Structure 1
Amino acid sequence: MSNDIKIKKGLDIKLKGAAEKAVEKAIISNTCTVRPEDFHSVIPKLAVKVGEKVKAGQALFFNKTNESVKFTSPVSGEVIEIARGEKRKILSIKIQADKEQSFEDFGALKVDSAKAEDIKARLLASGCWAFVKQRPYDVIANPEVAPKAIFISGYSSAPLAADLDYTLEGKAAELQAAVSALAKLTEGKVHVSVGKNGNSPLAGLSNITLHNVSGPHPSGNVGTLINKTDPVNKGETVWTVAAQDLVIIGELLLTGKFNAERLVALAGSSVKKPRYFKTKIGSEIATMVYDNGVDKDGNDRIISGNVLSGKQVKPDGNLDYYSNVISVIPEGDDYEFFGWNKPIFNKVSTSRALTFSWLTPNKKFELNTNTNGEHRNFVITGSYEEVFPLDIFPMQILKSCLYQDLDEMEALGMYEVAPEDFALTEFVCVSKQPHQDIIRKGLDLMLKEIG
């Protein structure tokens, strides 16, 4: 039995360069890099040193504030560099990967008969707990606090996002093992959303409450699923897990191995052959990007993640821990003379003032990173509400974060939001305000002051 969730408010940004449904095996990366900055609010404490040999699944560091939460190596090999910043802050751990991979053996687990404590211990020991996030605060979940429900979005509506129906194909056994295990960690339900007209492997699973979602982006965001099914109130906690990470969790439970393999979409208008690649978390992206038509001398931006909420990486950078798409689009460092005072046909806009994208709703655009304007104070236009489907006032909650009114932030619904929920309002913002950064800082303040 499924429940339909139809979103009317939102915006589909159709871009050129969607990945074709063809898979290539990426050239094996020589190194793998894990960055503690991918795990927000975690204070890392090293468990390895330079020159040490590690297996895939062996702990590299753990959370200083909760030592049971470990972060493990995606590959086997030798630790060749531990980069540090100011005050000896750990920036990254680089591993020289072995040609023949060896794995830490955690042992297979019979999920149907396993106790919740055994499942939790296995996820913590293997590093798979890093895939379990919580709201409030959008950080790695506290294993000592039971959630009232668990939410999984199996539908990607972001521009150029990887097609989860395709990337999860053939992984039904791993998916079932993962959701059955997660269902034992909560007294509530495991809510799973899929595209209404899709063919998701998640739709046939047991131990879940299925929701068919439709409508424009952000219909695929897990925040939308939470808001429309079981919103988070003060004192409550929910967990979220990305659909792509269920496969890694399921394989760990079935085989005892932490296999960080991931199907990654290489997409964007600067990519001549957009397609999918089989690689591992933390792998070098240069082998995928520059071997598939991206001009090395081109003026492009490489993004680990989607174009709305991903983060920019350098050409010699690495795939971050949670991304399953690498987006490459033109760098927007050029300026149009009188660009504000002439008709615009090649850009997406929710306004009809000299813009005409609303006339061609199915047209695909080749957009760059130019913000087309400068930073200024908030201008009240009502455009945020047009693309924000949550039952929250976006302008008011952003302002409350800026002037740090904790009581107002609580009352307006900060407990259930994450930065990605404000990616579209940031896109349409005529004031060019960094909405996602504002929300992130607001959540950090609440975590520090309220906990």
Structure 2
Amino acid sequence: MSKDIRIKKGLNINLVGAAEKTTSKAVLSNVYAINLLDFHGITPKMLVKQGAEIKAGEALFYNKNREDMRFVSPVSGELIEIERGARRKILTLKVLADKSQEQHTHQPLDAERASSEELKALLLKAGCWPFIKQRPYDIIADPDAVPKAIFISAYGTAPLAADMDYVLQGKEAELQAALTALGKFTPGKVHVSVGKASNSPLSGLNGITLHKVSGPHPAGLVGTQINKLDPINKGEVIWTVAPQDLIIIGELLLTGKFNPERTVALAGSSVKAPKYYTTKIGTEISTFLYGSGVNEENIRVINGDVLTGSKSSPDGYLGFYNNTVTAIPEGDDYEFFGWNKPVFNKISSTRALTFSWMQPKKKYKLTTNTNGEHRAFVVTGRYEEVFPMDIYPLQLLKACMVKDLDEMEQLGLYEVAPEDFSLTEFICISKQPHQQIIRDGLDLLYKEIG
């Protein structure tokens, strides 16, 4: 029996360009890249040198603070570039793929019979452990920690997000294997959330506590669900896993192979034929972006959704955790007297000269224009209207900015991740970078308290 979660606070951002439920196979990429910025807080130590030949699933580097945590190549080929930044910090690894792929294999494990230590050792060695993230701090999970619960959200409410019900179809065996394995890592529950009217393959699986979620964004964010079901207190840990990552974990357990396949939603108003593509982690975005065609020349390619994704280029590479790529018009134009006339073609949480509240289901073609400049925080009370957690968002943001550790703890920083503040950042009339402020606060808290 499921427990319903109904979210009232929030804001749906309805955009033109949702991906149609048809899937094509993306063109094979020549080069695949691993961006180390995806692994926040990890200090890499290389296991292979530039020019080395590697197999798909073979380790490229490990975590300096945890030597058995390996990060593997998505394809077989030659490591052609190790891009470095300041102080020789490794930024990106690029692999030139072979025409015929060779796979590095492991011994499969029966999730029902294997012990938690056997399962943990396989996930660490085979490169699947980075898919497991933890709260607090929104980092890769500590293998030595014992989480009080594990959360998976298969209900996407972000703008133009991939439809998990569609993407997960036919993957029940892999999903069940992964969920059975994860259940052995916690004495608590494995919480799985789906949409209220969902037909998700996750709904019929064993060993989970199912929740049906309804409401506007950010109802689908795992942080919102944690706050409503099992809030985090100081000293407690919760693990989270994305639904498509469950498939990769499950396939590893069943076959012994690391298969970094992704079904990516290519969406946005700048895409002529938005739809889904089957590809791999680290592929060149251009291998499927131009397959659907683009409407304008001056576009912004976003690696992820429009609220939490990062700016990319058509020649960029699919992020390790991303299952959406969005293309929208670049907002580099200036609107004359835009602040002093009625607005009909933009979304706003206020009713001051804006009329989006009169047509809640209308879809908009928005650009990247911020419609304002960065300024000091203005107290409006608007954040609380779209922030469903039992946390004071403005006060927490200010505590992070002044680096007040006691206030950050007391105001609930342990519970949140940067994505939880993506909507408050969107409606912020002060144009403050909320997600970066929270990220900096989490880093400071981890450094000082751990």
TM-score, with normalisation over the residues of structure 2?
0.99
Count how many residue pairs are aligned between Structure 1 and Structure 2. 450
Provide runs of 4+ in structure 1 moved above 2 Å: none
Q: Distance in 1 between matches of 2:282 and 2:4?
A: 36
> Could you tell me which residue of structure 2 aligns to residue 340 of structure 1?
339
Q: Distance in 2 between matches of 1:397 and 1:67?
A: 35
* SS of equivalent to 1:22: strand
Report the residue type matching 2:305 in the other structure.
N
- Alignment of 1:126 with 2:99, yes or no, is no
> Could you tell me which residue of structure 2 aligns to residue 420 of structure 1?
419
Deviations 1:95-114 (A, max 9, x none): 01122222111111111110
> Could you tell me which residue of structure 2 aligns to residue 434 of structure 1?
433
> Could you tell me which residue of structure 2 aligns to residue 60 of structure 1?
60
How far apart are 1:56 and its partner, in Å?
Answer: 1.2
How far apart are 1:292 and its partner, in Å?
Answer: 1.5
Q: Distance in 1 between matches of 2:309 and 2:67?
A: 28
- Alignment of 1:242 with 2:235, yes or no, is no
- Alignment of 1:264 with 2:264, yes or no, is yes
TM-score, with normalisation over the residues of structure 1?
0.99
How far apart are 1:15 and its partner, in Å?
Answer: 0.2
Q: Distance in 1 between matches of 2:54 and 2:371?
A: 47
How far apart are 1:33 and its partner, in Å?
Answer: 0.2
* SS of equivalent to 1:291: helix
Deviations 1:58-79 (A, max 9, x none): 1111111111211111111111
> Could you tell me which residue of structure 2 aligns to residue 308 of structure 1?
307
Deviations 1:26-55 (A, max 9, x none): 000011000111100001111111111111
How far apart are 1:287 and its partner, in Å?
Answer: 1.7
* SS of equivalent to 2:20: coil
What RMSD, in angstroms, separates the aligned Cα atoms of the two structures?
A: 0.8
Between 298-307 and 284-293, report the one with greater CA deviation.
284-293
Where do residues 155-304 of structure 1 align in structure 2 (5 Å cutoff)? 155-294=155-294, 298-304=297-303
Q: Distance in 2 between matches of 1:278 and 1:99?
A: 18
How far apart are 1:151 and its partner, in Å?
Answer: 0.5
> Could you tell me which residue of structure 2 aligns to residue 368 of structure 1?
367
> Could you tell me which residue of structure 2 aligns to residue 22 of structure 1?
22
Long gaps (5+) in structure 2: none
> Could you tell me which residue of structure 1 aligns to residue 444 of structure 2?
445
Report the residue type matching 1:43 in the other structure.
T
Q: Distance in 2 between matches of 1:335 and 1:139?
A: 38
* SS of equivalent to 1:290: helix
Q: Distance in 2 between matches of 1:450 and 1:294?
A: 48
Q: Distance in 1 between matches of 2:197 and 2:110?
A: 34
> Could you tell me which residue of structure 2 aligns to residue 35 of structure 1?
35
> Could you tell me which residue of structure 1 aligns to residue 349 of structure 2?
350
How far apart are 1:288 and its partner, in Å?
Answer: 1.0
Q: Distance in 2 between matches of 1:270 and 1:314?
A: 14
How far apart are 1:291 and its partner, in Å?
Answer: 2.5
Deviations 1:347-397 (A, max 9, x none): 000101110001111100000011100101111111100100001000000
* SS of equivalent to 2:291: coil
* SS of equivalent to 1:335: coil
> Could you tell me which residue of structure 2 aligns to residue 9 of structure 1?
9
> Could you tell me which residue of structure 2 aligns to residue 396 of structure 1?
395
How far apart are 1:290 and its partner, in Å?
Answer: 1.9
How far apart are 1:203 and its partner, in Å?
Answer: 0.7
Deviations 1:285-326 (A, max 9, x none): 01211222115x711100010000000112210001000010
- Alignment of 1:324 with 2:319, yes or no, is no
* SS of equivalent to 1:194: strand
Report the residue type matching 1:204 in the other structure.
G
> Could you tell me which residue of structure 1 aligns to residue 154 of structure 2?
154
Report percent identity of matched pairs: 65
> Could you tell me which residue of structure 2 aligns to residue 111 of structure 1?
111
Between 341-350 and 50-59, report the one with greater CA deviation.
50-59
Report the residue type matching 1:280 in the other structure.
K
How far apart are 1:198 and its partner, in Å?
Answer: 1.2
Q: Distance in 2 between matches of 1:2 and 1:53?
A: 49
Report the residue type matching 1:344 in the other structure.
V
Q: Distance in 1 between matches of 2:320 and 2:99?
A: 21
Where do residues 74-85 of structure 1 align in structure 2 (5 Å cutoff)? 74-85=74-85
Q: Distance in 2 between matches of 1:105 and 1:350?
A: 51
Between 354-363 and 63-72, report the one with greater CA deviation.
63-72
How far apart are 1:160 and its partner, in Å?
Answer: 0.4
- Alignment of 1:94 with 2:94, yes or no, is yes
Q: Distance in 2 between matches of 1:324 and 1:291?
A: 17
How far apart are 1:91 and its partner, in Å?
Answer: 1.1
* SS of equivalent to 1:312: strand
* SS of equivalent to 1:276: strand
Report the residue type matching 1:418 in the other structure.
A
